[in-house]
Structures are given as structure tokens and as C-alpha cells.
Structure 1
């Protein structure tokens, strides 16, 4: 949950006159989906509160709920107010529409990323990607197209709120020096000392082990991949959080699972709730994956690796047996 969502959830839920609300300015360019509206209107229980930008009365989240309420013949709807700027309201609108309910179309997410990159130029590609549900590489392509190849900023703010340089060559070299002088340092300790991300620190360690250059060439992301092997295992396959081999836009797993948790077909059945619990566990611990990998006791590595492969096989079998799902050959 974002800080903005936490602030909204602390706001009181009040009845709002539907006639007083502004529905324009949504990141959903095609407008409301009539089938989704009809499905919501048919639900007998009260709809969740909408979110409204208090200064403009523009609806941030809940257009479909409003249309469903109108279908029911209602004049009011419950909602909460958000008091940020219009740019902040748009970011929040995109995030909420990506994280639950009917997902935004890819074209809508790309347009939203373009607007957010303009209004928040200090944000990193990953931070914009996390909000819009597209890959960081796609955000980078959008930025390059917008700037026409002009010089980028020297640093940006990441998802964790920390400022990091775009060129981390010096940080990579320092990390390599620290690892050489003190091999017992953890990746997080090295990352903090060198002002780089833990994943960059991991790449530096892999490059040290393979004898590759610590600073990768700028020919593309794939140039950094040959160094992904270390400690006798293919580290390329261990990184479940991100990979350089995906070229299709990918919505963050936590975002997808949060959307699934709002689906009545899953929420209100025992098997659906069990499935959501399993998926949520994976999403929750994904952020700690690197730490867990680094801290598996040496005497447990074979057993843990074998169990991980067995569970992976179970999920792969599950994926092939889901009705209507086709596995790429």
C-alpha cells in the first residue's frame, strides 16, 4: 500500500452527490466498460467507497462504481477525499486503476507513464513502472522518445524514496573493491556503502566470480547477462523478481494479485481463498527473495534447492491444467 492510499484510508467515508462529481480526466481513454458496469450493478451488496480529488471534485478511482450506482437509480455514493495536487491525483488514479478492478489497457498505461514522466522527471524508470504496470525498459523507451536523446538527469528517485545516480560505474568499482577486501560482507552492506542497489551489488559479485568487467558495456541489457552464473548455480534462473530476458510489458506480481483479491469469484469460495493465500505469500516474500537466497545455510542448500525445484514443478503443472490456459510451446 502506498503512503497516499494509507492517507486516503484514514479519511472518513461520506455520502457524495453523484451530480457533484467530475468524471473527466480518467487514465482510461476508452471510458467505462459497459459489461463491467452491468456486473457491478447486479451485485446486491454496497459498493466500495470511491476516491475523489477534493479541490476539483474529479473522480480519482470509482468511475465504474458510479455508473453502476446510476444504473441502480441511486443519487449518492460513498467515497473518500484526497487532498493532493492534480499531478498527485493522476498518479494515484493510475496506481489504483492498475492495482485492482478492471485493469487499464496497455495503451492507457503507456500514456499514463508518459504523463507521469513529464510531471515527475525525478522519478526512476522503475518507480514510474511500478505505478503504471509496465516494464522499466518500456518507461526508459518512452523517456528517450520524449527527450529526443537529450542528456538525462544525473540522478533519480527510486521506489524506496532514495536518490541514486543514473551512472553507477563508480559505485560498481567501489563495490568490487569492498567485496575483494572483505568477502564476508553481505550484498546489502556492500550496496549501502557503494550507494547502489542490492541487485547491482549481486551483478558485481557475479562479475567478480566470472572474471568479467565490473562495469558492463552500454550495448544493451543482454550484455550483462553472461555474468549471471556463480557459486556453481545458474543465478540467471534464481532471480524471480526481475529478468532481462522479458521483452513484453509485465505488470508487477503484487499488483496482479491485489486485483485478483478483489474478484468475487475467488474471494467468496474456499478454493479461491486458498489460491489467493498461496499467491499472496509469493508476492509478499518476493521483496525478500535476494536476502533469503543469500542466507540459506550451506548445509541446507541442496535440500532447499531440491524443494524449490519440486514446488516449481507443481506450479508448472498447475499452470498447464488451468482450464482455458494455453502454455507456449
Structure 2
């Protein structure tokens, strides 16, 4: 048996591949991993799988229909999990075209390639096949402080080029199910954190900058609220949706962990104070610096993950306290990984986004 994972060298995708192959239930299945290795795709994430015959890595784009046709014909996957996406709001503000091309056009080309191949399958594998599309809670827009959390019934109201492109891809997946019968599943997750997170997102950026003695840039007043989901909990939820989710359905995946950005930064500083104190004995929180807020910054996201718990029996294993402690420890223990991903292009991006920060 084989699954095809797109974007499997990125943050969430690589964690999924590693956890899948480490599991007793699925570890004997081959993973074909398709990733174009853009700035956030990193084969070092998968270094432990080198020489493992169960992991077949292919460098390529989900918009390459010729390559997709070859992979589908050769490997005959029982499922496709689409993690491939441009995923950083700040980058989408500065360069929206890449998000339209990769998240919308790329998803369209992937769906069409899969539909063509799937339509010709014999009845049994055709009925068993699943296409699982991994998306985000940002497609729902922003919540006021006292609004109820997002459910799967919330309308799509995206507010950034990134979330708009992901909302469009969700609509395409839904349409390919209702129009062509493609057996799809969609998941919308809250903010992920954990190992192998590219250090432009809030949590890894704060850890990396703190250890480097740099400022810790906090947008606006720092009171933007997000629901935080430990990445390995996200991976376990996706496995459960793939296993038992109802075809055509959407499942919200959240951590039940709403936190304001400024509180996240303070928590990280406290953990670093305890585990890797500054040489001068001062607290890391002194490095915190408020910077101008980004355009259209959503104030609050919150996920109601009741549906996946009621229907599929899934709930997160980690609290925020346990997950963030594991995350900080991982970064402290993997400084070589951090150094290797901090390329010249990455430093240029930070300069563009945060100025002197």
C-alpha cells in the first residue's frame, strides 16, 4: 500500500511523514513524498529517513501534470494528502502572486490530474481512494473577543491574500467532489507549532532571535489571539480523518488553546530563562520590541473542534504548556538545524519584514 504526500518536506508535511512511518499501524506503507523544495521545504527535516525504502522522495511541483500522471500511474496510491501550500501571511502581503499560483492553480492542476487517474481505476480501489486536503482556520476570517469559535458551518471570509488563496483551494476541492464525485476530505487547522518550523513564524522566530541576542518583534499591541495546535497532534488528527472521516466532509482541527501573541512571547522567554539563561543574567523579555502591525491583521482565531471529537473520537494530547515546553527544548537541542535553515535569503526576508529587528 502507498500514500502520496504533497509538500512533505515542509513543516507540517515532514512531521506527518515522520510520524506515519514511525507508527505501528501505518509504518509498513510506502510514502511517496512530492515537494518542490521552495524556501520552506527542507530535506534535512527528513534526514532520519535516508536509505529507508519506505520513503520515496520526488522533487517536483503539484502543478506539473506530466509528473503527477507518472507518479499516480507508477505508485497507484490509496490516498493523497495535500500539504503543499504557500503558508505565510506576511509573505502573501508582499508577494501575493505566488500564493495564487501555488495554492489555487497548483491545487486545480493536482485535482485534475488525480481526477483523470482516479476515474479510470477499477471499482474497488476507486471506492477506497481518498484525497485529503489540508487547509487553515484563516479561511473563516476574524473573530471578535466574545464571538463563538469557528465551526465547520462558518462562512469563508478570508482577509489576506494567503487565506483567500486557501479558501479558493477549499472551494475547488469541494467542487471536484460534488461535480465529479472525487472522494475528498478537508481539514481546517489552527496555528501549528513544534519541531521543524521554519523560523519566520512567531514561535520559532522568538526562540531563534532570543538565543541570538536579537529583538523579539511583536506586531501592534500583541493582543492578537490564536488557537495553538501542537503539530504532532495535528498529524494524529489527519491520520484519524483519513481513516474514518466521511467523504465530502470538512473537519476543524484545533488545540483548545487560545493565547495572545504577547503571552506566547513571554512564555517562551520564561522557558529560555530557565533552560538557557542569558550570559548577563537579564531576562529575555527585555529583548521584546513592538513593531508596526501588519495590514489587515486578524484579531482572533478560535477553532471549535467538537465535530472531530464527536464523530471520530479525536482530541489533542498536548496542552499548550506541554507542547511549548517540548518545542523550546527541540530548538535548543537542534541548533545545527536552525543554523542550516538560516540562509542569506531568509535573513533578507527578515530585514524586509521587520526592518532592523
Settle same-fold status: TM greater than 0.5: no
The structure whose residues are more often strand, as a share, is 2
Q: TM-score, normalised by structure 1?
A: 0.28
More contact order relative to length (CA 8 Å, sep ≥ 6): 2
Q: TM-score, normalised by structure 2?
A: 0.26
Which of structures 1 and 2 has the bigger CA Rg? Answer: 1
The structure whose residues are more often helix, as a share, is 1
